[in-house]
Amino acid sequence: MILRTHYSGDITPEKAGIEVTLAGWAHEIRDLGGIAFLVLRDREGFAQITLLKKRVDPKVLETVRSISRESVVQVRGTVKAEPKAPRGFEVLPSDVKILSAAEAPLPLDPTEKVDCELDTRLDARFMDIRRPCILAGFEIESAVLRSLRECFYKNGITEVFTPKIVAAATEGGTDLFPISYFEREAFLNQSPQLYKQMLMGAGMDKVFEIGPIFRAEEHDTRRHLNEAISIDVEISFADDKDVMELLEGAVSGAYKYVSENCTRQLGVLGLDLQVPKVPFRRITYTEALELAKGRPGVEMKWGDDLDRETEKFLGETIGEHYFLTDWPSSIKPYYTLPYEDKPEVCRGFDLMHPRMELASGAQRVHDYKLLVERIKEKCLDPAGFEFYLKAFRYGMPSHSGWGLGLSRLVMTMLNLENIRDAVIFPRDRRRLVP
RNA sequence: GUCCGGAUAGUGUAGUGGCCUAUCAUGAAAGCCUGUCGAGCUUUCGACCCGGGUCCGAAUCCCGGUCCGGGCGCCA
């Protein structure tokens, strides 16, 4: 049996006279002597419970006076329209129960009268999320996921799961976390890339996966984590331009969905969300280098990966979402398809927000011989890729896809300073708990 | 990994060698108060990251450690 009849958000002054049962947390108790107020908080907001000493049952008043902040309480009472109350109503209680008393002192202050550092907040994340502005962010993240899934379903894309425990660090590059797998060593997967490509060979035609990826990199910045949620898509018989269109539609669609369906949460965050217009600007890698020449400082050579300074400069110059396309083949992974007439340039692209990279994708190499060649060029051993390469020998359609970082999408959408703010229980270089 | 900065009540802070028996806010405890909405007022409680050193004297200076923040690198 559900212990509440209404959320705070369900009550309005027009509901005056009805009996309600609310359940939530004791946000604040203000005892003025002859009158006392209990502010009850649930996920939708606040409701004021008013106790007039002369009119309320003395036992109820005594209970309320004994409530410690952040205890879980259940309140049964009658709604009364009251212009003096916040939101124009208050609840006159007939019964108040303490379901779970909170200890004091609290590890942080959910009423936000005192600031709190990120580290302290993450140590007591369960209490941090009781703060409406934090909760609102995660509710918006859920809405983003819902919007993305709907976009994928609408496009006839099948949701799949690929293994997170894998045999070997075959992709090269990124460091993987080794784990013990019975009598063998295994690794946590850094990306579903190889698996989604194999599913193209399987004839699944269009797949998406939303799941965790693990990277054992030492990176220690406000935009990197060692465990992240990746939104991966792979489409057969599509080229890089096709999947870029899908990507920009998915991203701007998520903004639109949030702006239309999360008005309360955006209000809590004080955000006026601007939906980015499609199509996003396309800039080739070579054009980006040209643009970056207009700034003082270190000059980039063609073939260098863009450094952080250049990335920031481009973001400031362009000022909105954009695609970086036509990268040098040498700095993109082996599965990225080079242009036939100009093999030093490839069909890889990055989706950029002015603050950082959000996604990267490409048209993939689907020709077995070329793929083996490319693997060798990257100084990797094709033998280690046999489970993957096998799928390319028995009929592999051309295909393209991308991977999008969920937390980076949410972080840039909500203008959060630190990616840790966009993850409920983040995993970084140092944090393994909670 | 590297460079720079930091660590003071539960939380957030002030304090650059003696005036620190350590500031302020929030909180907790007790009391007063009939319209609070960061309520107000009175009283009380609660802290210098760890180890070594310099000095008559260290929260403050030096060395080492641990932890934290920021920049960069790394990031298929």
Task: Supply the ipTM of this predicted assembly.
Answer: 0.89
| Same domain, yes or no: A371 and A254 | yes
Shared domain for A95 and A133, answered yes or no, is no
Tally of domains in chain A: 2
Q: Is the CB of A260 under 7 A from strand B?
A: no
Partners of A324 in the β-ladder: A283, A350
Phi-psi region of A279 (alpha: psi -120 to 50; beta: other; left: phi over 0): beta
Does A123 reside within a domain?
no
Q: Is the dihedral of CA A376, A378, A382, A383 positive or negative?
A: positive
- Do A385 and A255 sit in the same domain of this protein? yes
- The separation, in Å, between residue A328 CA and nucleotide B38 C1' comes to 56
Cβ(A25)–Cβ(A70) under 8 Å? yes
Burial class (CB in 10 A: 0-12, 13-18, 19+), A378: middle
Kindly report which listed range (A47-61, A298-312, A348-362) carries the lowest average pLDDT score.
A298-312
Structural domain including A21 reads: 8-100
Q: What is the pTM of this model?
A: 0.94
> Which nucleotide is nearest to A193 if distance is taken from CA to C1'?
B76
Q: What percent of chain A has pLDDT over 90?
A: 82
Residues A198 and A263 grouped into a single domain: yes
Does some domain include residue A417?
yes
A191 occurs within a structural domain: yes
Q: Cβ(A22)–Cβ(A94) under 8 Å? A: no
Residue of A85, A98, A80, A113 whose CA lies nearest to A14: A80
Closest residue, CA to C1' of B73: A219
Does residue A206 belong to any structural domain of this protein? yes
Q: Which nucleotide is nearest to A104 (CA to C1')?
A: B28
Residue A200 and residue A238 share a domain: yes
Write out the two tokens for A36.
Answer: 């006392």
Q: Are residues A81 and A135 in the same domain?
A: no
pLDDT at residue A296 tops 70: no
Q: What is the pLDDT of residues A378-394, one digit of tens each?
A: 888 888 889 999 999 99
Q: Which of A100, A118, A144 represents a domain boundary (last residue)?
A: A100
User: Could you check: is the Cβ of residue A403 within 7 Å of any atom of nucleic acid strand B?
Assistant: yes
Domain contains A204: yes
Residue A303 lies in a domain: no
Give the three-state DSSP class for A425: coil
A217 touches strand B (CB under 7 A): yes
The answer to whether strand B lies under 7 Å from the CB of residue A305 is yes
Whether residue A13 is contained in a domain is answered as yes
How confident is the model at residue A304, as a pLDDT?
Answer: 87
Q: Are A64 and A143 part of one and the same domain?
A: no
Nucleic acid strand B within 7 Å of A378 CB? yes
Q: How far is the CA of A114 from the C1' of B13 (A)?
A: 10
Whichever domain contains A326, its CATH number is 3.30.930.10
Residues 6+ apart with CB under 8 A from A69: A26, A27, A28, A29, A102, A104, A106, A111
A183 contact to strand B (CB, 7 A limit): no
Residue-level pLDDT at A173? 63
**In the prediction, which pLDDT does A292 show?**
85
Residues A176 and A81 placed together within one structural domain of the fold? no
Judge if the beta carbon of A418 is closer than 7 A to nucleic acid strand B: yes
Select from A80, A100, A120 the last residue of a domain. Answer: A100
State the CB neighbour count (10 A cutoff) for residue A294. Answer: 8
Last residue of a domain, one of A50, A82, A100: A100
Statement: residue A109 has pLDDT above 80: yes
Report the range of poorest mean pLDDT among A222-231, A303-312, A420-429. Answer: A303-312
Establish whether the CB of A120 is closer than 7 Å to any nucleic acid atom in strand B.
yes
Q: Does residue A190 share a domain with residue A87?
A: no
Measured CA A116 to C1' B57 distance, in angstroms: 36
Does residue A427 form part of some domain? no
Q: What is the CATH number of the domain that holds A33?
A: 2.40.50.140
Which pLDDT value is given to residue A167?
87
Residue A221 approaches strand B within 7 Å at CB: yes
Q: Domain check: are A331 and A249 in the same one?
A: yes
Q: Are residues A198 and A80 both part of a single domain?
A: no
Q: Is the pLDDT of residue A124 over 90?
A: yes
- Stated in angstroms, how far is A60 CA from B60 C1'? 53
Q: Which nucleotide C1' is nearest A80 CA?
A: B35
- Asked if A78 CB < 7 A from strand B, the reply is no
| Whether the predicted pLDDT of A142 surpasses 70 | yes
| pLDDT value of position A169 | 64
CB-strand contact A227/B, under 7 Å = no
Question: Which of A133-142, A280-289, A305-314, A338-347 has the lowest average pLDDT?
Answer: A305-314
Residues A252 and A336 both lie in one domain: yes
